[in-house]
Amino acid sequence: MNILILGSGGREHALGWKLKQSKRCGKLFFGPGNGGTASIGENIAIDPETVNTKLVDQIDYFCRHNQVEMVVIGPEDPLAQGLADRLAQPGRYVFGPVKAAARLEGDKAWAKQLMRAASVPTAEARAFSDYDAAVTYIESRETSMVVKASGLAKGKGVSVCDSPAEALEAVKRIMKDREFGAAGDTVVIEEKLLGQELSVLALVDGRNIFVLDPAQDHKQVGEGDKGPNTGGMGAYSPTPLCDDELMTTIQREVLVPVVDALRRDDVVFQGVLYAGMMLTTGGPRVLEFNTRFGDPETQALMMRLRGDLLEIMIATCEGRLDEVDLSWDPRCCCCVVMASGGYPGAYAKGKPIAGLDEAAKLADVQVFHAGTKADKGQVLTAGGRVLNVCALGKDLQEAQRKANAACETIHFEGGFYRHDIGFRVMKA
């Protein structure tokens, strides 16, 4: 089966790497892909960021002429714009939820309403489309608050504010300065929760829910979780934060009610439902939903997944997840993101990357590319998050040590990474 993976990050490289191991995998295409995907498949000039008739026609044409029978949609923006709906046709599998289901990620105000109606534990929140009303509300409060643009903002739309003054500033940036455009027409203002964060990803075939092993992401740029939020600086799986009992609770209190609530409205969720959780002293609470594979959690999960990802994706699309055979390498995987100097602020591009071949020789190590570009036999940096260096180890300590050692072999000007991925659960 020929496969087209849409997207250009480490997630897409890792999904392609795993799909390629399937007996049934034929040709593998990436649109647009990156410098790493070019070495395991063919990159094509299709960028799914903006969904319009031209893009849909381009993908349709490509799939027809290359006998592509599976399209995997990696990122959230095309899903929220309904790309899965528009690509659906007989003889083609599309992995990723339809627009009405992807709204769980793309419209946080609506997702909050749905959670409230389904009694899903989440932070108390209010939504405002009127700037003055948001200001009045913040001025009536004395506590910390979290301010979120309701729409998609490339993971940058959330401000955790320790005072009303900071919250007012965040609302101004979103609603007045329109930093995220129309994604900030509505803001969600919610209580700040305390605790450890947990990423719970589940395959959903409309009816059956198959929960993947738990992971923890590290969003902040600096060691010790200091500094501004990023798209993710590293992740590891499994995490001791979540045992079977907690996973069962999250499945029962979060995933099942949400999938059921959608189905009551005739919305069939097929794809990955990802609950970003905060483990508070009062129990697990949802911070947000994503309707796709998480990045960089997916890189760590693909390293550990035993089973045929293509069969799993087909079963998801066909509503047969109950028949799927899936297990995990018991070892731990630590994924360390190597980023460009300056990220998440401004950074340079086009820096040559050295040492990739040496890193590839290390046992139990895989380097997935994110912001890279292949250029005349060289690999150049092309984004803020450049590489996702993954290593397996018998425990988190060993996995982290191996991932960091692999990072040591790789160099590009200005490059940096966090050495402490997993620190929140590691003994000093």
Contact between 289 and 104 (Cβ < 8 Å)? yes
Interaction of residue 7 with ligand GLY, rule CB under 6 A: no
Contact between 2 and 68 (Cβ < 8 Å)? yes
> How far apart, in whole angstroms, are the C-alpha atoms of residue 257 and residue 198?
19
- For residue 322, the minimal CB distance to ligand GLY (Å) is 27
Q: What are phi and psi of 65, to 5 degrees?
A: -80, -15
Q: Report the C-alpha dihedral over residues 33, 35, 36, 37, rounded to 10 degrees.
A: 30
| Length reported for the chain | 428
Q: Is 377 exposed, middle or buried (0-12, 13-18, 19+ CB in 10 A)?
A: exposed
Q: Which residues contact 373 (CB under 8 A, 6 or more apart)?
A: 34, 35, 379, 380, 381, 382
Buried b (16+ CB within 10 A) or exposed e, 55-65: bbebbeebbee
Among 35, 294, 344, 383, binds ligand GLY (CB under 6 A): 294
Mask 218-257, x = binds ligand AMP (CB under 6 A)? -x---------x----------------------------
- For residue 293, the minimal CB distance to ligand GLY (Å) is 8
Interaction of residue 160 with ligand AMP, rule CB under 6 A: yes
Among 8, 22, 81, 290, binds ligand GLY (CB under 6 A): 290
In 3D, which of 209, 140, 201 has the Cα closest to residue 168? 140
Contact between 110 and 42 (Cβ < 8 Å)? no
> How far apart, in whole angstroms, are the C-alpha atoms of residue 1 and residue 93?
11
Contact between 297 and 239 (Cβ < 8 Å)? no
Interaction of residue 38 with ligand AMP, rule CB under 6 A: no
Taking CB under 6 A as the criterion, which residues in 214-233 touch ligand GLY? 217, 232
Interaction of residue 56 with ligand AMP, rule CB under 6 A: no
Q: What single letter denotes the amino acid at residue 63? A: C
- Of the pair 7, 393, the CB lying nearest ligand GLY is at 7
| Among the residue ranges 40-48, 186-194, 234-242, 419-427, the one whose residues contact ligand AMP (CB under 6 A) | 186-194
Interaction of residue 193 with ligand AMP, rule CB under 6 A: yes
Give the helix/strand (H/E) hosting 293.
Answer: none
Interaction of residue 75 with ligand GLY, rule CB under 6 A: no
Interaction of residue 297 with ligand GLY, rule CB under 6 A: yes
Mask 141-180, x = binds ligand GLY (CB under 6 A)? --------------x-------------------------
Which of ligand GLY, ligand AMP, none does residue 297 bind to, with CB < 5 to 8 Å depending on kind? Answer: ligand GLY
- Of the pair 101, 146, the CB lying nearest ligand AMP is at 146
Question: Which position's Cβ is nearest ligand AMP?
Answer: 288
Mask 357-386, x = binds ligand GLY (CB under 6 A)? ------------------------------
- For residue 294, the minimal CB distance to ligand GLY (Å) is 4
Residue ranges in contact with ligand GLY by CB under 6 A: 155, 217, 232, 290, 294-295, 297
